[in-house]
A and B are shown apart, each in its own frame.
Chain A
Amino acid sequence: MSQAIAASAKRPTAFGDALFAGLVKAAGIFVLLLLGGIIVVLFIGGLPAFRQFGFSFLTSADWDPVQEVYGAAVPIFGTLVTAVLALAMAVPLAFGIAFYLTELAPLWFRRPVGTAIELLAAVPSIIYGMWGFFVIVPIMAEYVQPFIIDNLGELPLIGDFFQGPPFGTGIFTAAMILSVMIIPFIAATMRDVFSTVPAVFKESAYGLGCTTWEVMRSVVIPYTRVSVVGGIMLGLGRALGETMAVTFVIGNTNRIATTIFGPGNTIASIVALEFPESQSGSLKLSSLLALGFILFVISFIVLAISRMLLKPGAKS
């Protein structure tokens, strides 16, 4: 009797376990299928463009909807340049924030600043875009760019680098907005990994008479180097795929910018702008899907590297 009760109580549990295991497994597989499906759809959609232009699709800077000649070089260039410039601006600032928060800031101050950084990460990108377009761009167009063009534009050799009409939009402005957007990601990662350094290491260094900066440079950074790079890659991944904020401020021009303030384009931005006016079955639509595929591959590589570096236990 008691056996029967135990058995009947056990059977549905076993079934429930199996059901639940099956469901979560399905959920896991679903994500994989979804990811695979997106890649396949993008690739198939982009195939006519890849067939038509071959390898030169990657190297051609032509984007001419009238002649139906499409090349990905300008948006790829713009995507990489804005992302790298953004990193160059964001990393030092993010490092400063993380350094201050983990080593120097009074304890009561760390929480509000930490929360503020996390909130910054939660601001929708369209807000950054509008802020960039209505606040930063006029300042750039009115003051910064005319000043630089007047003062540096006439210089020999590097002068051309600062020439052109002061639109306010362009590669530089886009990189600036992007850097603000990725700072929270990089700073938060840095702060978290800095605080994983065992106190005993730091205290030993202090015991030897090291200054705070020496502890940072010789103990904390070597200990966390790999994870810090992983955090930077995370920021890079976000910068590569950002669409709306960049679209607002980059100037949307399918030419390789020859000046730092010159307008350009990014992959995400050109897809967002051109998609609505692309006829189904046209070479243009196919080229946009091919661009999407390329962006997917670039982002995937960057994120894969960051995952690898951020893996628990991965230390230099």
Chain B
Amino acid sequence: MITKTVISALALGLAVNAAAQAQQITGAGATFPAPVYTKWGEAAKAAIGIELNYQAIGSGGGQNQILQRTVDFGASDAPMSAEKLETGKLLQFPTVMGAVVIIVNLPGVEMNQLKISGEMLADIYAGNIKKWNDPKIVEMNRGVTLPNLPIAPVYRADGSGTSFVYTSYLSSVSPEWKEKVGAATSVKWPAGAGAKGNDGISATVRNTKGGIGYVENAFATQNKLTTIQIRNKSGVFVKPTMEAFSAAASAGDWAGAKNFAVNLIDRDGEKSWPIVSTTFIELPKDPKDAERSANVIKFFDWSYKNGAAMATGLEYIPLPAAIQDVVRSAWHTQIMGPDGKPVY
């Protein structure tokens, strides 16, 4: 099976090479922002003649590819570590933000009716709370009839940026989770079953009475899945809405974040949805082909200016304008062509 993977990796490499023509830019990485990048790509091709070839191979794959310089830019949901950015001579910048929401399959429980705290989510995924009629859940949900069903937690079986965001959240609200499990693109899940991709999670939750899972907001909205309310840091139960996501995004400490690796998880603010994250692009600081890198920057510059509505339409949160300007100055000062001049 490994041979298959190697062969497909080779095929991918060939495809990337074949696509290397004028005005084409290639990127690879995170699956989470792939829909918006594709949309921007179509629009940018019509508007400024830059064609994006984006391969949604996963955040880890994207980081590998850009470190090996097989693509023009890499994309990842989890920020790259500062050392890796340093040794790989990469500039990292954010593009859009997204939210992770919780979905459930409970007969008789309606959309956004169920209320759960972050600590309890951690307990559920740790296997400490096993039944839906557990006194703790009942206590938080007076007036909701909770069935005597085993809780069936579903998680992403494939390594995923969504899992990174979700486990980061669980780690930040539960010291026990942080110590025993931690946060990563794939972790040692103490309970439940795995499924592949957002669609795998939603299908498994739909199949399993008593199921609970986490998916990207766009996926839940498009498929009208039953989401729940979560208690945020200010102690308020919030519904997963664009307003709540934006509130969390503006509560982030953008100025203090190194390499734009801002933490949007569990922010202050009564309206803030607690599980929000940024997705990133990694771009070489020493591009061999200055023109291609310039085109990449031109593409994202155009997308910042013109892509906000497209992003919102796809349930992503656009980057605040002030942050866009900081990114623009980073492009100008940090990405130098072989001649030592800024490429853009």
Instruction: Kindly state whether residue B243 has any CB partner on chain A within 8 Å.
Output: no
In contact, B150 and A64 (Cβ under 8 angstroms): no
In contact, A277 and B185 (Cβ under 8 angstroms): yes
Instruction: Kindly state whether residue A283 has any CB partner on chain B within 8 Å.
Output: no
Taking the closest CB of chain A, its distance from the CB of B92, in whole angstroms, is 15
* With contact pairs A38-B3, A141-B207 given, residues A66 and B187 touching in the complex (Cβ less than 8 Å): yes
* With contact pairs A66-B187, A263-B193 given, residues A274 and B158 touching in the complex (Cβ less than 8 Å): yes
Interfacial chain B residues near A192, Cβ < 8 Å: none
Instruction: Kindly state whether residue B157 has any CB partner on chain A within 8 Å.
Output: yes
Q: Which of A20-28, A166-174, A195-203, A208-216 contacts B (4 or more CB under 8 A)?
A: A166-174
Given A67, A164, A292, which contacts B1 in the complex, CB threshold below 8 Å?
A292
Number of A-B contacts (CB under 8 A): 128
In contact, B208 and A247 (Cβ under 8 angstroms): no
Taking the closest CB of chain B, its distance from the CB of A7, in whole angstroms, is 48
Interface class of chain A by DSSP: helix
Instruction: Kindly state whether residue B152 has any CB partner on chain A within 8 Å.
Output: yes
Interface residues on A, range: 35 or more
How would residues 1 to 39 of chain B score, 1 for a CB under 8 Å from any chain A CB and 0 otherwise? 111110000000000000000000000000000000000
Instruction: Kindly state whether residue A165 has any CB partner on chain B within 8 Å.
Output: yes
Q: Which of A49-102 contact B (CB under 8 A)?
A: 62-67
Taking the closest CB of chain B, its distance from the CB of A62, in whole angstroms, is 7
Interface residues on B, range: 35 or more
Instruction: Kindly state whether residue B328 has any CB partner on chain A within 8 Å.
Output: no
* With contact pairs A252-B194, A253-B192 given, residues A276 and B187 touching in the complex (Cβ less than 8 Å): no
How would residues 145 to 178 of chain B score, 1 for a CB under 8 Å from any chain A CB and 0 otherwise? 0000111101001111000000000000000000
* With contact pairs A137-B207, A167-B152, A251-B193 given, residues A66 and B184 touching in the complex (Cβ less than 8 Å): yes
Name the residue among B1, B57, B181, B194 with the largest chain A CB count within 10 angstroms. Answer: B1
In contact, A273 and B208 (Cβ under 8 angstroms): no
Taking the closest CB of chain A, its distance from the CB of B104, in whole angstroms, is 13
In contact, A64 and B188 (Cβ under 8 angstroms): yes
Name the residue among B4, B182, B186, B210 with the largest chain A CB count within 10 angstroms. Answer: B186
In contact, A280 and B204 (Cβ under 8 angstroms): no
In contact, A67 and B182 (Cβ under 8 angstroms): yes
24 residue pairs of the A-B complex, CB under 8 angstroms, read A38-B3, A42-B2, A64-B187, A65-B184, A65-B188, A66-B181, A66-B183, A66-B184, A66-B187, A67-B188, A164-B150, A169-B195, A169-B204, A248-B196, A253-B192, A253-B193, A271-B1, A272-B1, A273-B159, A274-B186, A275-B5, A276-B57, A280-B64, A292-B1
